[in-house]
Amino acid sequence: MPDLSRREAVAAMTAIGAGALTVSASAGSGGGFLDADALGWNAEKGLYVLPPLPYAYDALEPHIDEATMRIHHDKHHAGYVRKLNAALVAMGGLRDGSIDKGLSDHWAHELSFNGGGHINHTLFWTGMSPTGGGEPGGDLGKAINADFGSFKAFADQFKSVAGSVKGSGWGWLAYEPMAGRLIVTHMHNQENGLFGGLVPLLGVDVWEHAYYLNYQNRRGDYLAGFMNTINWPEITRRFATAKG
Ligand code: MN3
């Protein structure tokens, strides 16, 4: 089994969807919001370990129920981490010839999909808080007013864009460094080339596993509830980091 160094594992992750800029920015600045520790990289074991939830499973009720959080974190997110580790090992096997090169496309997709899933969920859990909701102040509040017109206009567009994802995916508030402004966008499944130029700040999971037990087909109600969980101090910290 090929050894995975921390550098190699983090380098592989920098090639992946949503987290690409985040991880590379944090590696460069030292003050980033998603680094090897946040992602549960265990250098001794040479693999990623599912980070625990930063609060109790029932802490986001009534907006997100305990059963959904348990299954989502302990089963779905754990699955992305397990398959990410397998894909990183397989990428080494492709290089050393122990895995047939004909499987390159399969393993590259496994790496991208599950690496994206791990990054997205890590940002998702810490982007919520039992004391969340309300509106951000400070620099982020000012930037939201400047770029969207008002907090309400931002919230309406965020819920509308996330609600419009066909099938499985994510809604995002992101920082676009070239224009130096905030934008709202969405992502299908776990990955989207759009994030080549964007820094993800706030994500909402709109896969059915994120809400179906409690909300069934009412994704809009789930999104309204999600707004009451947003950890704005954490999102504000990410914004400051993204702006450098
Ligand atoms: Mn999910």
Listed residues 66, 93, 126: the one ending a domain: 126
Q: How far is the CA of 77 from the centre of ligand 1 (A)?
A: 7
Residue listed under structure tokens 């080494």? 92
From the CA of 9, how far away is ligand 1's center (Å)? 22
How many domains are contained in the chain?
2
Is residue 1 in a domain?
no
Q: 5, exposed or middle or buried, with CB in 10 Å at 0-12, 13-18, 19+? A: exposed
Measured in Å, residue 11 CA sits from the centre of ligand 1 at 24
| Per-residue pLDDT tens over the stretch 54-93 | 999 999 999 999 999 999 999 999 999 999 999 999 999 9
| CATH label of the domain that carries residue 103 | 1.10.287.990
Look at residue 131 and tell me if it is in a domain: no
Last residue of a domain, one of 126, 160, 183: 126
Confidence class for position 241, pLDDT limits 50, 70, 90? very high
Are 164 and 186 spatial neighbours (Cβ–Cβ below 8 Å)? yes
Read off the pLDDT of residues 126-142 as tens digits, 9 standing for 90 and up.
999 999 999 999 999 99
Ligand 1 centre to CA of 84 (Å) is 15
> What's the CA-to-centroid distance between 69 and ligand 1, angstroms?
10
CATH number for the domain harbouring residue 163: 3.55.40.20
Query: Looking at the structure, do residues 168 and 113 belong to the same domain, yes or no?
Result: no
Residue 35 and residue 89 in one domain: yes
CA of residue 193 to ligand 1 center, whole Å? 19
Same-domain status, 16 and 115:
yes
Final residue before a domain boundary, out of 126, 156, 180: 126
pTM score, two decimals?
A: 0.85
Query: What is the distance in A from the centroid of ligand 1 to the CA of 121?
Result: 6
CA of 188 to the centre of ligand 1 (A): 12
- Cα(165)–Cα(160) distance, rounded to whole angstroms? 9
Distance 133 CA to ligand 1 centre (A): 20
Measured CA to CA, the distance from residue 151 to residue 35 in angstroms comes to 29
